[in-house]
Structure 1
């Protein structure tokens, strides 16, 4: 039986880092919506961190209600003329509004302004990730050991491709490789995919084609992952070379790192639909809390970068063309721009209902994955 001390320690270890990470990511996302709405002259009624019962609130000088709610699983910005927190329009109220009030309502704006407000949330998430990665590159630098092959594992994909000891991997599918770690992470996300490796062998440069084998491993957080394994290793280094970054190099590296996470995530999602990947790797709030706690134990740098990855994931998720999410709103606005008029109330209502069902189903599925992973 767990003692009160164990429960308190568990809360500090897992809940506090989870809430902190999620609060930062959600706040930046909603702040993106909020700032662009203000710039467009839209009246903002509510800025909410969390859902459910209100814990605390205050009003700013422009009348916006800033609230902190009990359930820290999201947030929302409600605009003048919205029927609810999902920014569904209150059409009866809009029709009866005088022009002065309509001009400061969300649905009184042009389709371009509405799209800009909606897109600002995910864009803010990507910008947050770039800022975090920039700070991490600039402050901590990166390992810089070259991608040299010290040993080729017998029966591996590397042996089949013709790798030899002392080969140095320069490029993978045309992308430059700056370190052994760069090579590893590209290979890990490319199981059973044929890739071209440009390697330096003595004074020559040769090209090899290899398809990393799929293998199940446990990461440092105890999560089972299916990754690509090439089958090469290097000797342990007594001192790993380290590279420091100037601010400009850190920004460039951060943009590349953000794009890498986006590309990796989209590749995984595409793999689910094509049958190459299993959906059991999708994580919900329980596993995110677990990983956040473990990342906090490994150090601030790890938790810092995990925040960036989660921010990118939330930005991408919100861009999916699912009604209720930002991407669904953008889809409706694209149709409106093409047709010259919005979809009918009935079509939008059906779309929002479908969106709610899809989002709830995804949350339940991800939570079920979390429970299964905890049980195994």
Structure 2
């Protein structure tokens, strides 16, 4: 497989994992009636941007995640204050555009000083001009225009914090949920691609090894070893080899639908123990949906346990910094799986999707888990946490995560240079 193909597979994998995660947030936010300002893949400067309906879709420079920006989730950036001179565009009796700058360059607008304005609940603006005050109703989708940017207003009923806790929690949890669903689908796909193991076969023969001396061949099916039926017990073969170092072993193998008897004497290696010089693989056959579903679930449960064990070891300091890997290491390992074939790549993608879902549910500031913690506190107190304080917590957490990512990325690069 060429480097271009491997690279395209890795890019596609990350794009699907991140996009589906953010789509989960997006879909359930829209279902709850929340105004979604931006659906972004990546962070940093914009590479591609377009608007459809109320949402701006952007592809950003740094492919290390994504975000869905919901109205009211963080304090709004654009504000209009009393005494400020603004310009209005009126259509069908309602304000459709509110201009905050370059007023002398705009034509066909109504100019005035803001006497009163409410863009959240009552939706009106009152202008003072030449001693009179005139009130204008504001359209629920009116645009604020400043510095060449248009920002749609967010009435209170379109803001994140106006919705019940359960709907907000679902909009946050939906991102990891999509990753869990994708992981299961990928594990299921892997089961169909990989098939069901039915026997143990010989993969490769090491030149000059006891296996070559015994005239074993790649593709031979191992039926019995020392009278013991093997079936799909690959680990049992390894145990028998270790127990019979230097002792002749009787192997019954099947080749071209004929059973043959071979005598193999394991050789002891100083650092590796007893070896016969073969790699072992599974012979497989097609699998039904009824067999694939529990197999996919078992793989997902096993992977979840391993991921949680890793987090536990990290929490209790059983990892060194060199054990951690960042984006560079993930890309490196992804390349190895992509080169190994479509089935290993699908399995690796399932693991990453599962990891992304679990990691995002950790109660770390800036992650989905932390936002769910704040919603849980609100549900218990029956009173929301101060949005400014919550935003500060998430900002600090995001900054710390970025510093950690920079550190592990530097470590990955040094490790690559050193080989």
TM range (shorter): 0.5 to 0.7
Higher helix share: 1
Over the aligned positions, Cα root-mean-square deviation in angstroms equals 3.6
Residue in structure 2 matched with residue 68 of structure 1 by the alignment: 59
Instruction: State how far apart, in whole Å, the 2-side matches of 1:308 and 1:253 are.
Output: 14
Report the TM-score when normalising by structure 2. 0.61
Q: How far 1:57 moved relative to its partner?
A: 2.9
Residue in structure 2 matched with residue 306 of structure 1 by the alignment: 348
Work out whether residues 37 and 69 of structure 2, in 8 Å CA contact, stay in contact via their aligned partners in 1: yes
Instruction: State how far apart, in whole Å, the 2-side matches of 1:81 and 1:284 are.
Output: 32
Residue in structure 2 matched with residue 79 of structure 1 by the alignment: 70
Instruction: Map 1:1-376 to 2 at 5 A.
Output: 12=4, 15-60=7-52, 62-82=53-73, 88-90=74-76, 97-98=120-121, 101-145=155-199, 180=234, 240-345=282-387, 347-374=389-416, 375-376=418-419
Work out whether residues 337 and 348 of structure 2, in 8 Å CA contact, stay in contact via their aligned partners in 1: yes
Instruction: State how far apart, in whole Å, the 2-side matches of 1:91 and 1:333 are.
Output: 23
Change in Cα spacing, 1:73 to 1:287, as seen in structure 2 (3 Å) is same
Work out whether residues 18 and 288 of structure 1, in 8 Å CA contact, stay in contact via their aligned partners in 2: no
Higher strand share: 2
Work out whether residues 194 and 284 of structure 2, in 8 Å CA contact, stay in contact via their aligned partners in 1: no
Residue by residue over 1:244-291, the C-alpha shift from the partner in whole angstroms, topping out at 9 and shown as x without a partner, is 321132222222212211210110121123344444332111111112
Instruction: State how far apart, in whole Å, the 2-side matches of 1:59 and 1:131 are.
Output: 31
Residue in structure 2 matched with residue 150 of structure 1 by the alignment: none
SS in structure 2 of the partner of residue 317 of structure 1: helix
> Where do 5+ consecutive residues of structure 1 fail to align?
1-8, 83-87, 147-164, 170-177, 185-216, 218-228
Residue by residue over 1:143-181, the C-alpha shift from the partner in whole angstroms, topping out at 9 and shown as x without a partner, is 3448xxxxxxxxxxxxxxxxxx88899xxxxxxxx8547
Report the TM-score when normalising by structure 1. 0.67
When Rg is computed on C-alpha atoms for both structures, the one with the higher figure is: 2
Work out whether residues 13 and 293 of structure 1, in 8 Å CA contact, stay in contact via their aligned partners in 2: no
Q: How far 1:327 moved relative to its partner?
A: 0.7
Q: How far 1:107 moved relative to its partner?
A: 1.5
Change in Cα spacing, 1:347 to 1:281, as seen in structure 2 (3 Å) is same
Residue in structure 1 matched with residue 219 of structure 2 by the alignment: none
Mean Cα displacement is larger for which, 51-60 or 16-25? 51-60
Change in Cα spacing, 1:31 to 1:238, as seen in structure 2 (3 Å) is closer
Work out whether residues 79 and 105 of structure 1, in 8 Å CA contact, stay in contact via their aligned partners in 2: yes
Change in Cα spacing, 1:183 to 1:316, as seen in structure 2 (3 Å) is farther
Work out whether residues 75 and 388 of structure 2, in 8 Å CA contact, stay in contact via their aligned partners in 1: no
Instruction: State how far apart, in whole Å, the 1-side matches of 2:56 and 2:198 are.
Output: 49
